[in-house]
Amino acid sequence: MATVTSNVKKLPSDIEIARNAHLAPLTEVAAKVGIDESDLVPYGRHVAKVELEVIEKMADRPDAKYVVVTAITPTPLGEGKTTTAVGLAQGLARIGRKPVLALRQPSLGPVFGIKGGAAGGGYSQVVPMETLNLHLTGDFHAITAAHNLLAAMVANHLHFGNELGLDDIQWRRVMDMNDRSLRHIIEGCGAKTDGVTRQTGFDITAASEVMVIMALATSLADLRKRLGRIVVGFTTAKKPVTAEEIGAAGAMAALLKDALMPNLMQTLENTPAFIHTGPFGNIAIGNSSIIADRVGIKAGDILLTEAGFAADMGAERFFNVKCRAAGLTPQAAVLVATVRALKSHSGRYEVKAGKPLPEGMLQESPEDVEAGCENLVKHIQIIRDFGVQPVVAINAFPTDFDSEHDVIRRTAEKMGARVAVSTHVADGGEGAMELARTVVEACEDEVHFTPTYEFEDSLEEKITKIATKVYGADGVELSPAAAKSLKLYSDQGYGHLPVLIAKTQMSLSHDASLKGAPTGWTLPVREVRLAAGAGYVYAICGNMMTMPGLSKSPAAMRIDIDDEGNVQGLF
Amino acid sequence: MATVTSNVKKLPSDIEIARNAHLAPLTEVAAKVGIDESDLVPYGRHVAKVELEVIEKMADRPDAKYVVVTAITPTPLGEGKTTTAVGLAQGLARIGRKPVLALRQPSLGPVFGIKGGAAGGGYSQVVPMETLNLHLTGDFHAITAAHNLLAAMVANHLHFGNELGLDDIQWRRVMDMNDRSLRHIIEGCGAKTDGVTRQTGFDITAASEVMVIMALATSLADLRKRLGRIVVGFTTAKKPVTAEEIGAAGAMAALLKDALMPNLMQTLENTPAFIHTGPFGNIAIGNSSIIADRVGIKAGDILLTEAGFAADMGAERFFNVKCRAAGLTPQAAVLVATVRALKSHSGRYEVKAGKPLPEGMLQESPEDVEAGCENLVKHIQIIRDFGVQPVVAINAFPTDFDSEHDVIRRTAEKMGARVAVSTHVADGGEGAMELARTVVEACEDEVHFTPTYEFEDSLEEKITKIATKVYGADGVELSPAAAKSLKLYSDQGYGHLPVLIAKTQMSLSHDASLKGAPTGWTLPVREVRLAAGAGYVYAICGNMMTMPGLSKSPAAMRIDIDDEGNVQGLF
């Protein structure tokens, strides 16, 4: 039986496709969505920052439709949310719309670790990919510097007598690198003049609270305030000590002011793409920046923004935290589904990162897909509960079969959800035109945006509501330490904050091995922490890795420059 | 008696002057020295990187005169080498020349530590100073990332079994921050999966060997080779292990390729200024980049390049290391002298950083100046020994007296050296026109460039020649460890490398308290280290600080942004 991807063809490598791209001058790309050259600050030949003043300048324009791109519970290989977002943007442009894309910036850690680069794939990429993957405009470096300036000033405060009485210090350092040896360090190991000896460690920059602050700040003034509110630790009397009290918040803002301008790039088909901030998907917000969305919502007529991981994680935070902080109303959600992910949700196969797919998964088997479809059903329901309509986007692979796509289509339709197949990786925007038309249709739906909880709910209620209403848990089990922290944070006036739940992305539950749509389980909260500057409390369920390590043969070993100075080995 | 600065006036603050500057479009600034718009890569509105291809494009043009700006032994306050270089460039433009300026990029550490910013001063500044002081085009961040990628890969190599048999690891990590607590750390303190436990530490980025490699690389290909040659440590059999063997050099080059393009900015009077790299003045090379000079030498008709610290340090390395690595011949040296520095060399006053000058030093006293002049005489001699003629530049302060300048002038003239007073801080380029004319005159001198040593000399001979012929020591005393290292490096084939001597900049000797031109002393070499990628061996005399600390009230506490997003408190 024929596979659905009619034009099964041997695709050139991502980097070959990217190198052959015809990049348009960014002024032209910006002009497509009404951003004037005078509002662009060029950074290199193919990236420009957009002045924040455009937000005011464009205030009278109507808002674009705000569409989040999310996914079903993925395999460790990922199900192509980024490529779908890029392809869909290209497809929307092809049917005469003015799309704007908003994506997260990749972190250097994974670039040199496993992935060797991330910018979409095939004929749905953001270019130039070397620029996107290496430094871009230096925003991550600015965030690293601001984070570590605060750390240096905290250590300096201890060194000069600890006037504020800091006892329990929670502010670590960050580096945009996979470096397991820095997870746990002892600093100040020299003479007395070399600082106070204490245990601490490094996280990857994407896990920095400053990264989240950049993602959630609605203006430069808001950024400055959030930085001041960062709690670096607590006194013996459990009083929080802030970055403002340390005296670091102003200098941090000075380091970050240019980084707050979103970075404009383009897709292979010259569609405008904002690449801005890159907070981790587990302990951080996992969404790109509000500032980029605030610019994009006034620039185009459809704003596509990608949320990390699956709908229970990235989209939940998008709706409950980001939309409310931004004051923006979501219109629709694209729910990316793949045959391989649904087959894995059947529980019949185990997919491992860096390993080929199990042989059986490549056989035609609508039954396997059917057996995994309860995950899709649950994610459709999750999105609907926010009062938003999902569009199921079947991200087609050359190894898929029509019969398998039919199962997905029927499942979605049975739920009354829109659905479309997209072959954007092989065909670029042309392959996403059906999806584009379906999304445009969904943008006419009436929306009754309904967050999962109210800010007035207690912190514990908020956690419980996410666990039960979104994840499908029976309830929540707080460890004594978690319960104590929740009480402390409420007592200190942080009870009104939203909550994030840090858990695995590989299951709707906290247990990566539970596929499909698990029921009859309780969410165990090991620990609760405060991110007062970012403006949330986060509950940790399981071991969260905040500083990845390199593999035995990291991607960095394959990366080099050639005689012309071109980067080799990024893909 | 009247002070020499005829127009004693209350100067506006540096930042006020900088904010009122009329910046020219960079394309115009570049065009002044024949660099085409198509060779500029914009980074923000007021900085551009210059494509390295221009070096080949301009190969047929005559070389500009290559002039180094150096100084007598300074007080801890500095004697205004940067302001003089900037002012002189402006002065040269005013007398119809086409000057190009090459300066080092300031480090974030000092910006947030003591200084709060560095970009010249008064009416001789490089602008915009916020950009110059905060991130610029991200080159330092790229260097930090490349350095730490290698460190992560070394740690990763240990974690996965240490196949290469690394024993004595010399590669630390870097951060562009003053953070004393990171000088000595123990990494890998967690579980076995969290890396190998060992002592290490962080240096400031300016002290990174990668910074020196960037400063000394003559092309992208040369950069790649130097990165590969970095020795990260030794095996138990004392065999060096390189970055190439670790597999990191290619990825490091990919991180650094854009950073190798020099950054073009402008002075307050729109004179072109390259700001590129910023290696430490003690253990590193203390000079700005060869690449910037290679572009500048073909662009203008006089290239002014600043060398860190005094002539015994920065200029010695400029002549012995940088000129030879660059294949460029120096034409003249500007030797900056101040009344206050010469008064301090009388041994009658103690000048301390961050403290007001001793009251007595502000009284008219040609006798004090006279008493300190042997330092000036020695530095004139140092420069002459390289076969190059010095121009003594008296950097005038409003508190100077004519009689004091006369002493400096007479001393220089007695040596047959050219001399000029410059009031560039108060008067900009106009105040440096006399100096400019004098430098132009010196550029017609015949030069017999004579380095202090030959590369074929043994490492110990090289150290001895610098100590005796440049510093004026009677000889060198090697510690047993230093002697052992010298033998090791020679045996391993590094004997042909030049040497750097890391010592205090506050004296011609290794002892900061010895003012003037000390005689009858021996240089004690405590330790010798190898910087194989940078291409030198360095001898350490005394305690070299490679990671500064913050003061009790660091400059960062005064830095903030205002409502318009302008940075406050940088000066």
Q: DSSP letter string over B509-534?
A: SS-TT--SS--S-EEEE-EEEEETTT
Give the gap in angstroms from C-alpha A306 to the nearest C-alpha of chain B: 27
Residue B569 pLDDT more than 50?
Answer: yes
Residue B317 has pLDDT above 80, yes or no: yes
* Beta-bridge partner residues of B525: B478
Best residue in B111, B139, B187, B568 for a mutation probing chain A (most A CBs within 10 Å): B187
Residue A554: closest C-alpha in chain B: B153
For residues B439 and B67, the answer to whether their CB atoms sit within 8 Å is: yes
- Look up residue B352 and give its amino acid: K
Note the pLDDT of residue A116.
59
In sequence order, the 6+-apart residues with CB closer than 8 A to the CB of B363 are: none
Number of A/B CB contacts below 8 angstroms equals 246
The β-bridge relationship of strands A332-337 and A389-395 is parallel
Candidates A160, A220, A251; nearest CB to B559: A251
Q: Which residues contact A356 (CB under 8 A, 6 or more apart)?
A: none
How does DSSP classify residue A497? Answer: S
Q: What is the pLDDT of residue B9?
A: 62
pLDDT at B114: 78
Side-chain-side CA neighbours of residue B53 (13 Å): 10
pLDDT given for residue A385 in this prediction: 98
Going along B340-404, which residue ranges are E strands? 389-395
Is there a binding annotation on residue A80? yes
**In this model, does residue B3 exceed pLDDT 50?**
no
pLDDT given at position B2? 40
Q: Which residues of A touch B199 (CB under 8 A)?
A: 189
Pick among A185, A227, A543 to test the B interface (most B CBs inside 10 A): A185
CA-to-CA distance for A201 and A182, rounded, in angstroms?
6
Alpha-carbon span B281 to B357, nearest angstrom: 24
The answer to whether A184 contacts B189, with C-beta atoms less than 8 Å apart, is: yes
Integer Cα distance of B429 and B422 in angstroms? 9
**Which among B148, B176, B248 is the nearest to A145, CB-wise?**
B176
Residue B446's φ and ψ, nearest 5 degrees, are -80, 140
- Write down the CATH superfamily of domain B14-137+259-442: P-loop containing nucleotide triphosphate hydrolases (3.40.50.300)
Contact residues on chain B for A180, CB-CB shorter than 8 A: 155-156, 159, 188, 193-195
In the predicted structure, residue B199 carries a pLDDT above the cut 90: yes
Question: Cα(B486)–Cα(B539) distance, rounded to whole angstroms?
Answer: 9
Give B242's strand partners. B231
Tokens standing for B331?
Answer: 């034409």
What's the length of chain A?
A: 571
Binding-site residues from annotation of B for ATP:
75-82
In three-state secondary structure terms, A474 is: coil
* Torsion sign over Cα A304, A309, A310, A316: negative
Residue B5, pLDDT > 80, answer no
A-chain CB neighbours of B565 within 8 Å are: 52, 220, 257
- Say if the Cβ atoms of A41 and B41 lie within 8 Å: no
Question: Quick one: residue A370, left, alpha or beta (phi over 0 = left, psi -120 to 50 = alpha)?
Answer: alpha
Tokens found for residue A56: 């005011």
- What are the phi and psi torsion angles at A180 (to 5°)? -60, -30
CB contact under 8 A, B567 and A257: yes
The conformational region for residue B21 under phi > 0 = left, psi -120 to 50 = alpha, else beta, is beta
**Are A138 and B137 in contact (CB < 8 Å)?**
yes
Question: In this structure, are residues A241 and A164 in contact, taking their beta carbons and an 8 Å threshold?
Answer: yes
Q: Do A148 and B179 touch (CB under 8 A)?
A: yes
Instruction: Return d(Cα B319, Cα A58) in angstroms, integer.
Output: 57
In chain A, the residue whose alpha carbon lies closest to the alpha carbon of B225 is: A561
Which of A302, A252, A359 is CA-nearest to residue A91?
A302
- CA distance, residue B335 to nearest chain A CA (Å): 35
Q: What six digits make up the tokens of B254?
A: 């990919």
Residues of chain B with CATH 3.10.410.10: 459-540
A347 is in an annotated binding site: no
Q: Which parts of chain A register pLDDT below 50? A: 1-7
**Token digits of residue A540:** 């940790």
Query: pLDDT band for position B4 (50/70/90)?
Result: very low
Is A552 annotated as belonging to a binding site?
Answer: no
The reply to whether residue B557 touches residue A182, judged by beta carbons under 8 angstroms, is: no
Closest CA to A399 of A365, A435, A434: A365
- Alpha carbon distances (Å) from B178 to A134, A271, B13, B131: 25, 42, 26, 20
- Distance from the Cα of B42 to chain A's closest Cα (Å) equals 5
Q: What pLDDT was estimated at residue A445?
A: 95
Is A79 annotated as belonging to a binding site? yes
Q: Across residues B410-418, what is the average pLDDT?
A: 97
Helices then strands, counting H and E runs in chain B, come out as 21, 26
Nearest CA in chain A to B256: A134
Q: What are the tokens at A98?
A: 């003015």
Residues of CATH 3.30.1510.10 domain(s) within chain A? 139-256
Q: How far, in Å, CA of A184 to CA of A346, rounded?
A: 39
What ipTM is given for this predicted complex?
A: 0.96
CA B226-B231-B233 angle, 5° bins: 165
Residue in the block written with tokens 């009062």:
A387
pLDDT digits (tens, 9 = 90+) for B97-156: 999 999 999 999 888 987 656 788 999 999 999 999 999 999 999 999 999 999 999 999
Residue A476 vs residues A456, A464, A526, B317: alpha-carbon distances, Å: 19, 6, 11, 66
Is the CB of A145 less than 8 angstroms away from the CB of B149? no
Interchain CB distance below 8 Å, A156 and B180: yes
Rounded to a whole number, what is the distance in Å from the CA of A283 to chain B's nearest CA?
19
Is it true that domain A459-540 has CATH number 3.30.2020.10? no
Task: Decide if pLDDT at B316 tops 90.
Answer: yes
Cβ separation A153–B554 shorter than 8 A: yes
C-alpha–C-alpha distance, residues B522 and B541, integer Å: 11
Alpha-helical regions (H) of B95-161: 108-112, 129-133, 139-159
- A181 and B193 within 8 Å at the Cβ level: the answer is no
Strand partners, B199: B186
Asked if residue B314 has pLDDT above 90, the reply is yes
B522 to chain A, minimum CA–CA distance in Å? 29
- Every domain range in chain A assigned CATH 3.40.50.300: 14-135+263-442
Q: Between chains, do A559 and B250 touch, taking CB under 8 Å as contact? A: yes
Residues of B in contact with A189 (CB under 8 A): 184-186, 199, 201
Query: Which of B156, B173, B178, B291 would you mutate first to test chain A, the one with the most A CBs within 10 A?
Result: B156
DSSP helix/strand/coil, B285: coil
- The model's confidence at residue B83, banded by pLDDT at 50, 70 and 90, is very high
The arrangement of secondary structure in A14-135+263-442, i.e. its CATH architecture, is 3-Layer(aba) Sandwich (3.40)
CATH architecture classification, B139-256: 2-Layer Sandwich (3.30)
Token pair, residue A342, equals 């649904």
